[in-house]
Amino acid sequence: MKKTPYIRLDKDDAAVLLVDHQAGLLSLVRDIEPDTFINNVLALADSAKYFKLPTILTTSFEEGPNGPLLPELKTLFPDAPYIARPGQINAWDNKDFVKAVKATGKKQLIIAGVVTEVCVAFPALSAIEEGYQVFVVTDASGTFNEITRQSAWDRMAAAGVQLMTWFGVACELHRDWRNDVQGLGALFSAHISDYRNLISSYSVCGTTKKAA
């Protein structure tokens, strides 16, 4: 098997594409628990906000059964490019979407969406063909079942797409805790209960040491 080189995410050269996190499509996600999935999507979105990454929102046929975009995403990114595709299944087939991606000037694309084997895989594979470095956030992308998910992962990985989790994305973008302990800790605490306990313990110990 050919070894794929390690390409690190760079916060100065990355953009986030949130594809089709729509009310109707969200009802199809069965490979991740609903509450966990929404938390992961918002964790990725909060990470994009924290690292000030250009973010693009897109929907597919939202006037039909796919439904409107998750409202929290609109709230988080009120000024982000919002591409409501009239019918194209592959977002990369929409000229406005591709134009918005190219306008970021970034070569690394962090992609998540619903459903994994279509709304995520199609633009991810298309972007790879265009020469972009593509990172798919697996736990912020959902689909019907584990078999479908694995098939999508295999196809994308074979084409050179890197598969990551939102937590891995945040850590690789941050690089060094000393850059901002409190900020990254707050981000993790907001979305991982165990990490909230860890940070609380750290804060208490820090206060105790200062008092001593």
C-alpha to C-alpha distances, 142 to 19, 32, 117, 160, nearest whole angstrom: 11, 7, 9, 20
C-alpha to C-alpha distances, 36 to 42, 111, 161, nearest whole angstrom: 10, 18, 24
Does the global pTM surpass 0.85? yes
pLDDT digits (tens, 9 = 90+) for 121-178: 999 999 999 999 999 999 999 999 999 999 999 999 999 999 999 999 999 999 999 9
pLDDT, position 208: 45
Rounded to whole angstroms, the Cα distance separating 14 from 135 reads 10
% of residues, the chain, pLDDT over 90: 87
Q: At 5, is the pLDDT very low, low, confident or very high (cuts 50, 70, 90)?
A: confident
Q: At 211, is the pLDDT very low, low, confident or very high (cuts 50, 70, 90)?
A: very low
Q: Tell me 85's DSSP state.
A: E
In angstroms, how far is the first alpha carbon of the chain from the final one?
Answer: 57
In this structure, the number of other CB atoms found within 10 A of the CB of residue 105 comes to 9
Q: How do beta strands 14-19 and 82-85 pair?
A: unpaired
Q: At 203, is the pLDDT very low, low, confident or very high (cuts 50, 70, 90)?
A: low
The candidate with the shortest Cα–Cα distance to 130, out of 10, 17, 11, is 17
Q: At 196, is the pLDDT very low, low, confident or very high (cuts 50, 70, 90)?
A: confident
Active site residue 119: yes
pLDDT digits (tens, 9 = 90+) for 101-119: 999 999 999 999 999 999 9
* Residue from 38, 109, 119, 136 carrying the catalytic annotation: 119
Has residue 210 got a pLDDT over 60?
Answer: no
Q: At 201, is the pLDDT very low, low, confident or very high (cuts 50, 70, 90)?
A: low
